[in-house]
Amino acid sequence: MSSADELPAGLVNFFIYNIEYGQREGTEEEKVMFYTPTEVPLGKQINAVGLCQAIAQFVNGFDPSHPCECLITLKTKQYFMNPESSFWMVMTLAIPCSEKVSREKKVLEYHPDNVQDNLGKAILKQTYDMFVLFNGPFEAFVDKHGVEALKEQFKLFYYRYLQTINIRQMDILDVFKGIDYLPLEKVDFLRVQCFVNLVENTFSGIHHVCFLHNENVVWTTLQLDDMKILYKYLKSRLFPASNEMEQGLTRSSPVSTARTSPSTNYNPNFLNPGKFLTAPRDLVSSSPYTRLAPRIFVQLNGKVTELYLVIYKAHNSVMCFLMDSQSANADYCTRIHNFVGPQLGNLSNIISEQHSKRILQTNNQYRFVYFNSMNLAIRTSIHKTKLSNQNSNGVSPEIMKLLIDIHKDIELSKNTSCEIATKMMNDCWVVGKRSGFRQFFVVFNQKNWTIVEICEELQRLMNTGFGNILFLE
């Protein structure tokens, strides 16, 4: 059968349990902190948790430094993660299958390779990271609010969040969890850095600042672990929702829809193009573009701290302000608007002009993915970008899966420098290269080329397109 006839891989169940709870006989249900689907009887939930706990303990007996991560059966793959000392998260994915005729009977043939372990583990890790971003670590939440409150928060968060996971659309970018940085000339980069420093020194209630242009990161004061998950949230949820809202308002009324609140002077206009995408509650009614600023938990002075994420935009540039609760009010944000708006608008125009020239000079002849694990920088010509508004350049799902497989093989290699070249059934070449902390993947459609010619073209591409990046040989 063709791949189109295969049943897609999907989420079978997802649950969280705590091994320290329910240790006495008859209290096993206390271990279950969260379980979906909800229609599964409590007895089966307890059995599933008990089985996973037993499997984890069995594997731990072989090597405590390598806990159980994946259990493969005929029909499912089950992924385990122990994010905090006594908490375990488990996600089960169905293995795609197809019908075939064997001895004049229809039988199901399962394809476990179509559920890639690197991607499954990345999805599970992301479910934890997203919860911690908006609610803080599990144990800290229990210490502050109690066990029952954590169970309720799991329900509020995961029932909605799991609906947003589309396994079919996930690929190697979800494995890397990289950050798309915007390359700038030295002078423009210094302008951004100086402006961020000026804002931080002017407003003491702002503890972290992130500067983005065209949804690409230019500068951030956050730690990389916090920035990568915040960037994922911005790119996948907040920016698309804000763009959709803005387009809807533009279609409904060609005239400016900005309105002024009687209690503030916040008003986006021609002289001050800035506007809040998220803001404190008492400022949300001042603009139809603005949503309520969420609370997030990030590292501040060596400990996890709750801050408000206030997002401000002027033209194509966005600044994320992480503010304490005392500063997250209408008066303080109005001062930020009056100070930041005009300057951010001018800076955005300068960056847009320089970036447009760089785009015209860029010629992505080949489809590639580049990732640097040191700073999480990622570049790709395969995936859709905001400015080019192009789809994935005709890269097939088979190639996208192969990229993850090559990445997995590279990670298993003990060499700091290695290269893997693969020729597919359609004579397309896919090459993966690791050099230190950097990984580079290229898709070549030159069907008649030999591996020597492919290696030579790869070296030429690295010299021309990545000449300012050191690749160790």
pLDDT recorded at residue 191: 96
Domain boundary among 120, 146, 170: 170
Cα distances (angstroms) measured from residue 318 to each of 278, 306, 337, 446 = 11, 21, 13, 41
Q: Are both 10 and 159 inside the same structural domain?
A: yes
Looking at the structure of the chain, the number of domains it has is 3
Q: Is 36 exposed, middle or buried (0-12, 13-18, 19+ CB in 10 A)?
A: middle
pLDDT recorded at residue 363: 53
Pair 218, 182: CB distance under 8 Å: yes
- Residue 473 counted as domain residue: no
Q: Are both 116 and 200 inside the same structural domain?
A: no
pLDDT recorded at residue 256: 45
Helix ranges restricted to H, 362-450: 397-412
326 φ, ψ (degrees, to nearest 5): -70, -30
Q: Are both 207 and 238 inside the same structural domain?
A: yes
**Tokens at 379, concatenated:** 């570049």
236-265 burial, b at 16+ Cβ within 10 Å, e below that, comes to eebbeebeeebeebeeeeeeeeeeebeebe
Q: Are both 25 and 86 inside the same structural domain?
A: yes
- Residue 472 counted as domain residue: no
Q: Are both 401 and 346 inside the same structural domain?
A: no
pLDDT recorded at residue 397: 87
DSSP state of 313: E
pLDDT recorded at residue 468: 59
pLDDT recorded at residue 6: 43
Domain boundary among 307, 342, 360: 360
Domain boundary among 153, 170, 187: 170
Q: How far apart are CA 269 and CA 282, in angstroms?
A: 20
Q: Residue 370: which residues within 8 A CB-CB, separation 6 or more?
A: 377, 378, 379, 380, 438, 439, 440, 441, 466
Domain that holds residue 104: 6-170
- Residue 23 counted as domain residue: yes
Pair 212, 347: CB distance under 8 Å: no
- Residue 295 counted as domain residue: yes
Q: Are both 154 and 212 inside the same structural domain?
A: no
Secondary structure (3-state) at 103: coil
157-180 burial, b at 16+ Cβ within 10 Å, e below that, comes to bbeeeeeebebeebbbbbbbbbbb
- Residue 199 counted as domain residue: yes
Q: Are both 403 and 295 inside the same structural domain?
A: no
Q: Are both 162 and 184 inside the same structural domain?
A: no
Q: Are both 373 and 309 inside the same structural domain?
A: no
pLDDT recorded at residue 286: 64
Secondary structure (3-state) at 206: strand
- Residue 251 counted as domain residue: no
Q: Which phi-psi region, left, alpha or beta, contains residue 9 (left: φ > 0; alpha: ψ -120 to 50)?
A: beta
- Residue 89 counted as domain residue: yes
Residues in the chain: 473
pLDDT recorded at residue 264: 45
- Residue 385 counted as domain residue: yes
Give the CATH number of the domain where residue 36 resides.
3.30.450.70
Pair 277, 292: CB distance under 8 Å: no
Q: How far apart are CA 447 and CA 426, in angstroms?
A: 8
Q: Are both 209 and 98 inside the same structural domain?
A: no
Q: Which phi-psi region, left, alpha or beta, contains residue 304 (left: φ > 0; alpha: ψ -120 to 50)?
A: beta
Q: How far apart are CA 366 and CA 379, in angstroms?
A: 13
Per-residue pLDDT of the chain (473 residues; tens, 9 = 90+): 444 344 445 899 999 999 999 989 889 999 999 999 999 999 999 999 999 999 999 999 998 888 999 999 999 999 999 999 899 999 999 999 888 887 778 888 899 998 999 999 999 999 999 999 999 999 999 999 999 999 999 999 999 999 888 888 899 999 999 999 998 999 999 999 999 999 999 999 999 999 999 999 999 999 999 999 999 999 999 999 888 877 766 666 554 444 433 334 556 555 788 999 999 988 887 677 789 999 999 999 999 999 999 999 999 999 999 999 999 999 999 999 999 999 999 999 999 988 877 665 555 677 899 999 999 999 988 875 443 444 445 688 899 999 999 999 999 988 888 999 998 888 889 999 998 899 999 998 887 888 888 888 888 888 776 765 655 55
Q: Are both 216 and 324 inside the same structural domain?
A: yes
Give the CATH number of the domain where residue 295 resides.
3.30.450.30
Q: Are both 353 and 381 inside the same structural domain?
A: no
Farthest CA pair distance, the chain = 79
pLDDT recorded at residue 446: 80
pLDDT recorded at residue 461: 83
Instruction: Specify the pTM.
Output: 0.89
pLDDT recorded at residue 389: 40
